[in-house]
Amino acid sequence: MSLHLEQVHWMPSPPLAPVDGPIDLAHLHRMTLGDASLEQEVLAMFAGQAIGLMEALARFPADAAELAHKLKGSAQAIGACQVAEAAEWLESALRDDSDAAEAMMTLNDAVVEARQAIDSILNRT
């Protein structure tokens, strides 16, 4: 009996700290396979989604931990590492039923910074 082994090409994980500021452009480039129009599309989608999620999170609804988790995943996908880390902190605070005010402020600051970077990226093309 012979085994058939096949090499699997894995996508590298994003770095723990952003390389290019609020948005890790190298990660974004890898995730979009270098398609500049797709990069612009996902950045615009993230910016819009982030606004809606932050507005919802500001009310601290019953599903706030799930909303923070959703924002974390979206941020990881585009290389917004600071947003992802802050969203993870908020998610943990909400799930642990601990004070989430500082985590929420940190997340808000990270989202504002990421959106400013996104606006700059989208406006220069």
Query: Token pair 């908020």 is at which residue?
Result: 90
Instruction: Check pLDDT > 60 for residue 17.
Output: no
Taking residues 71-76, report their average pLDDT.
98
Q: List the domains of the chain with CATH numbers.
A: 25-123 (1.20.120)
d(CA 98, CA 30) in angstroms, rounded, equals 36
Closest CA to 40 of 107, 110, 100, 122: 122
d(CA 111, CA 20) in angstroms, rounded, equals 15
- Give the per-residue pLDDT at 32: 96
DSSP 49-117: HHHHHHHHHTT--TTHHHHHHHHHHHHHHHT-HHHHHHHHHHHHHHHTT---HHHHHHHHHHHHHHHHH
Q: How many CB atoms lie within 10 A of CB 107?
A: 29
28 pLDDT band, cuts 50/70/90, is very high
- Give the per-residue pLDDT at 18: 44
Q: pTM value?
A: 0.82
